[in-house]
Amino acid sequence: MAIPRRFLPSISLLSAFEAVCRTGSTLAAARDLDLTQGAVSRLIQNLEAQLGQALFLREGRRLVPTDAALAYARDVVKALDLISRGAMRVRSNTGGGTLSLSILPTFGTRWLAPRLPRFLAAHPGITINLGTRLRPFDFEEEGFDAAIHFGDPVWPNAGFLKLFDERLLACASPGLLRDHPVTAPEDLLRLPLLQLETRPAAWAGWFQAHGVEAATPSGMLFDQFATMIQSAIYGLGVALLPEFLARTELAEGRLVAAWGEPTPAEGSYYLVWPRVGEWYPPLQAFRSWLGEEAADPDGTANLPG
């Protein structure tokens, strides 16, 4: 159904409205948009006329948005962001399309990035744009074509491709274990246990798997595995790490296993995409390629370098 033209303000009107809401004055908005103050004022007046109601209260030189304007501004910001993303896609499209992919930061840099040259070589017309997100989000609002997600396949209105499971290994610096020998899993409770914000029950699950009824772990809290790994290297505590993410540090001896073999984690890695875009050709190509890569997640023989 076509939307009546009177409900479709121009981009110039919406940009002026967004700038005034954000800056609080037509003067500041004019500087932001490289327009005159009078031009911004006329744009706001035209928008108010088109919508049939006042959007701002005039208090001296300040414009205070009404409650209706604040609600409208949220929608306008989302719309302008989507339009901007679309324009960036067109500009970066070299013929095969653009795939906007949300990644987990450490997974992206340590597992995905070394493999991406193979995909790009096989699909030279496709451009991949990467953004990091630590938690699930609304595909419609964020504008991503797909995301790499850890956890369970519970993303609303999305399709899933399971990549692989995760195995966790308790890791520490050789110096920390030399100063604090570990002869049983419960000995780890005497050491700082580094924790990840998005895995609050990870240590409890690890201790349970080793037959230990553990108290609440104490130690530093991190939002990314990368900083947790570095902190463990410098002896700040024991880190519970996905084995494949810590492979380099373990091989080089900067980290060692604090106790035991890798244990299964509660969750898996998935490629997730919105159902409405599942037939987008760049997504189809990436999904097929990633499934092949994930069939051998520990394989490193063919990685660049």
The CATH number that applies at residue 61 is 1.10.10.10
Q: Give the model confidence (pLDDT) of 39-50 as tens digits.
A: 988 999 998 888
Residue 301, domain member (yes or no): no
Arithmetic mean of pLDDT, 252-280: 92
Let me know whether 272 and 139 are in one domain.
yes
Q: Which two tokens stand for residue 134?
A: 């630590």
CA dihedral 171, 176, 181, 182 (to 10 degrees): -20
Helices within the chain (DSSP H only): 11-23, 26-33, 37-51, 67-92, 105-107, 116-122, 139-142, 174-179, 202-209, 225-233, 247-252, 281-294
Residue 303, domain member (yes or no): no
Q: Which residues of 79-109 are buried (b: 16+ CB within 10 A; e: fewer)?
A: eeeeeeeeeebeeeeeeebbbbbbbbbbbbb
Q: Give the model confidence (pLDDT) of 1-29 as tens digits.
A: 455 666 688 888 889 889 888 888 888 88
Let me know whether 272 and 143 are in one domain.
yes
Residue tagged 């520490």 (tokens): 172
Residue 302, domain member (yes or no): no
Residue 248, domain member (yes or no): yes
Let me know whether 190 and 251 are in one domain.
yes
The CATH number that applies at residue 277 is 3.40.190.10
Considering only CA atoms, which of 259, 245, 152, 153 is closest in space to residue 206? 259
Beta bridge partners, 257, equal 171
Cβ atoms of 288 and 202 within 8 Å: the answer is no
Residue 213, domain member (yes or no): yes
Considering only CA atoms, which of 86, 124, 131 is closest in space to residue 285? 124
Q: In which domain, by residue range, is 109 found?
A: 95-162+268-294
Is 50 exceeded by the pLDDT of residue 285? yes
Let me know whether 220 and 257 are in one domain.
yes
Q: How many CA atoms lie within 13 A of 47 on its CB side?
A: 24
Q: Give the model confidence (pLDDT) of 225-238 as tens digits.
A: 999 999 999 999 99
> Would you call 274 helix, strand, or coil by DSSP?
strand
Let me know whether 282 and 255 are in one domain.
no
Let me know whether 9 and 138 are in one domain.
no
> Would you call 264 helix, strand, or coil by DSSP?
strand
Q: Give the model confidence (pLDDT) of 171-203 as tens digits.
A: 999 999 999 999 999 999 999 999 999 888 899
Is 60 exceeded by the pLDDT of residue 301? no
**Domain stops at, among 41, 59, 90:** 90
**Domain stops at, among 65, 90, 115:** 90
Q: How far apart are CA 46 and CA 12, in angstroms?
A: 11
Residue 304, domain member (yes or no): no
Q: How far apart are CA 146 and CA 297, in angstroms?
A: 19
Let me know whether 261 and 123 are in one domain.
no
**Domain stops at, among 49, 68, 90:** 90
Let me know whether 63 and 191 are in one domain.
no
Q: How far apart are CA 284 and CA 159, in angstroms?
A: 12
Residue 285, domain member (yes or no): yes
